[in-house]
């Protein structure tokens, strides 16, 4: 390959608004970043700063946006089609809201697999449950019969089902205990290596971001204040005050 590869994701001058025009809230202000194919990009920063909103704009869940977003070079418009969801999947921050209460684990996973034209659905469901550390004993449970962490693992299994190329992970392990977190993070690392997947990962845990990502954007109050490499983060090489503050606060927490 002599040509430079098209990035998996290019976001340029993204603004996102919520609410009616006369009193709309400007949740993301002029955000730009690029994620190369096979890379893993972190989004960190203040609670309420717009991290989830960026992922929602990408997946079509925050319709009031302007700027350009490209997935594998293709510019996104107002609507997303099924092809988009086969290549881009999202794991939502809130495992309680993201599963339908009347659908069993089996239904959630089989339906997703069916929708994306998979064969051997039965085997694939069991395999997905194994992958996220749940096992087939959980297959016929309903969401209310699962703990918070168990639900999150079902949500991760569902996102993996269509074998996407890009995974948007919104606090994928913040509802999980550390041992399950380790299993999921290892699984995500393996999948990325095997299938050359691209990740965008939101987390408030800098140790998790440092473990999983090569680069991260730091957000505050709707803006990306800085994009820096993980090495720079580890060395405390930050340009903005907010990033320095965040690094200092996290350093205190590292035991």
Partner 1 sequence: MTPLLDIKNLWVKFPTRTGVVEAVRGISFSLGRERLGIVGESGSGKSMTGRAILRLIRPPGIIEADHISLHDQDLLSLSEAKMRAIRGQKISMVMQDPKFSLNPVMTIGAQLIEAHRLHSKSSRAEARTKAIEMLEAVSIRDPERVMKAYPHEMSGGMGQRIMIAMMLIPNPEILIADEPTSALDVSVQGQVLSIMDRLVKERGMGLIFISHDLNLVSQFCDRVLIMYAGRIVEVCDADKLHQAQHPYTRGLLGSLPRFDTPRARLDVLQRDPAWREAPSVEARP
Binding site for ligand ATP (CB under 6 A): 18-19, 25, 27, 47-53, 93, 144-150, 177, 204
Name the minimum Å distance from CB 50 to ligand ATP. 4
* CB of 136 or CB of 147, closer to Mg ion: 147
Of all helices (H) and strands (E), which one includes residue 110?
Answer: helix 105-115
Between strands 215-220 and 40-45, the pairing is parallel
Give the sign of the dihedral formed by CA 233, CA 237, CA 242, CA 245.
Answer: positive
Could you tell me which of 136, 115, 137 has the C-alpha nearest to residue 125? 136
Contact code string over 114-153 relative to Mg ion, x by CB under 5 A: ---------------------------------xx-----
Residue partners of 99: CB distance under 8 A and separation at least 6: 108, 143, 151, 154, 155
Name the minimum Å distance from CB 220 to ligand ATP. 9
Q: Residue 182 binds which entry of Mg ion, partner 1, ligand ATP, none, with Cβ cut-offs from 5 to 8 Å by kind? A: partner 1
Name the minimum Å distance from CB 148 to partner 1. 5
191 belongs to the binding site for partner 1 (CB under 8 A): no
Cβ 209 vs Cβ 44: under 8 Å: yes
Residues 65-104 that bind partner 1 (CB under 8 A): 93-94, 96-97
185 belongs to the binding site for partner 1 (CB under 8 A): yes
* CB of 44 or CB of 225, closer to partner 1: 44
204 belongs to the binding site for partner 1 (CB under 8 A): yes
179 belongs to the binding site for partner 1 (CB under 8 A): yes
In angstroms, the Cα distances linking 62 to 48, 96, 172 are 15, 20, 20
Name the minimum Å distance from CB 217 to ligand ATP. 11
Stretch that binds partner 1, among 35-43, 59-67, 79-87, 202-210 (CB under 8 A): 202-210
* CB of 138 or CB of 165, closer to ligand ATP: 138
Helix, coil or strand: residue 177:
coil
Give the integer Cα–Cα distance in Å for 63 and 17.
8
Give the integer Cα–Cα distance in Å for 220 and 45.
6
Strand segments (E) across 53-135: 65-71, 74-75, 88-91
Among 182, 195, 229, 241, binds partner 1 (CB under 8 A): 182
Walk across the sheet containing 166-170 and list its strands: 88-91, 166-170, 198-202, 40-45, 215-220, 223-229
Q: Please report, as ranges, the residues that interact with partner 1 according to CB under 8 A.
A: 18, 25, 44-48, 52, 93-94, 96-97, 137, 140-141, 144-145, 147-150, 153, 170-171, 174-183, 185-186, 189, 204, 206-208, 210-211, 221, 234, 245-246, 249-251, 253-255
């Amino acid at each position: 390959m002599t040509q430079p590869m098209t990035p998996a994701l290019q976001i340029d001058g993204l603004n996102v608004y919520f609410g009616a025009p006369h009193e709309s809230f400007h949740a993301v202000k002029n955000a730009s970043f690029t994620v190369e194919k096979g890379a893993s990009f972190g989004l960190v920063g203040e609670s309420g700063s717009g991290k989830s909103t960026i992922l929602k704009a990408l997946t079509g869940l925050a319709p009031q946006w302007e700027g350009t977003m490209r997935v594998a070079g293709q510019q996104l418009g107002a609507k997303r089609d099924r092809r988009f969801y086969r290549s881009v999947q999202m794991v939502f921050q809130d495992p309680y809201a993201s599963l339908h209460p009347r659908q069993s684990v089996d239904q959630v996973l089989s339906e997703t697999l069916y929708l994306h034209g998979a064969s051997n659905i039965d085997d694939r469901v069991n395999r997905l449950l194994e992958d996220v550390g749940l096992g087939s004993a959980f297959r016929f449970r309903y969401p209310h019969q699962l703990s918070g962490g168990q639900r999150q693992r079902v949500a991760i299994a569902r996102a993996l089902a269509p074998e996407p190329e890009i995974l948007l992970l919104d606090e994928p392990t913040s509802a999980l205990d550390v041992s399950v977190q380790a299993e999921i993070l290892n699984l995500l690392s393996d999948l990325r290596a095997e299938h050359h997947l691209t990740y965008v990962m939101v987390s408030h845990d800098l140790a998790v971001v440092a473990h999983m990502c090569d680069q991260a954007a730091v957000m505050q109050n709707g803006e990306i204040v800085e994009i820096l490499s993980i090495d720079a983060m580890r060395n405390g090489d930050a340009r903005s005050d907010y990033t320095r503050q965040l690094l200092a606060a996290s350093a205190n927490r590292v035991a």
